[in-house]
Structure 1
């Protein structure tokens, strides 16, 4: 004869459940609170580890150059007004190429706008270019961009790559006291001397530009430096 009220099926309770069920209501409540605190601590440690691995909020720092400024040519003073406007940002490994399926750590995106007012002709020449490469160091950067648009009267150089360099001199000291500088890959640089023949201008490779030799006279630039990231799939060293 069986015992009245006995459940003959196998219990699915774990040993932990059995122990907790044998505790008083107050003890069971204390045990539940302790378990919740333990879970919170584990989740917090996981979040901290994720932040340490990936930087602020899991986002990696991105190099960039932004700003607009006028500058002078120290070797050729005149009344012309020249300016560059940069809106360039790194986009590592975003441009696959033949033999380089991953792209390069220096891949970049953005635009460069060029303006040159000729005081002699009283005409402003403009052009725009698409950024394809950017590399930075503290307070300095080089970038290249391919011309996509030329305004009326400008040179027919759509498709030509131009090189630029930027020195971010920090906070300016007042009107006319900017410490920023720029450089660019034409007007006397990047030439190939040929003995008695006239030197020819050479093609510009990605991220190639001279040192920033031209002082900024109005406006300014901001360089945000970030290290070049490792190739995708490579672990930390």
Structure 2
């Protein structure tokens, strides 16, 4: 899926495709070894899963967030809560960044500059991380830069239960197959291992009971 040809002007043109029948990419160099270096780098990033198509760099976080919100089928209250978090706290600082240029350090700097309770910052971070996880699924970026970001510590006195609207907003921001798990965890207080051990035969909808035994 890659080749180099010499043009009539003596320059070297590198050609490659990210996948069969995909769009052909080209770059021209004065030296053949520079073209070879480029193709080797492209091949390495394709194999490592870190390759980002050139056009991905043209979209900003704010533009992608608008697209992301349009594609979500949320209840009106959930959509309103997520949109408010983005508009008031996330996009004013980070919205101008091109998606591939956003790094974990930028997110940590943003979080550190927020004059909000640490628990609220973590709620905002979860929303941002869900947005960026969607960008990974859409192949706009190779990795989620919000993953593993260091956030302000939540002190014991600062732990405040999430409101029903906040739970809906967080659940709505998640990928579809884990939204129910978010709601169940918020409503029951189950720990992660208990939640993951919950199977259909341990749910009694008629009695409104869950059996937690593993």
Q: Same fold (TM over 0.5)?
A: no
Q: TM-score, normalised by structure 1?
A: 0.26
Q: Which has the higher strand share?
A: 1
Q: TM-score, normalised by structure 2?
A: 0.27
Q: Which has the higher helix share?
A: 2
Higher RCO (CA 8 Å, separation ≥ 6 residues): 1
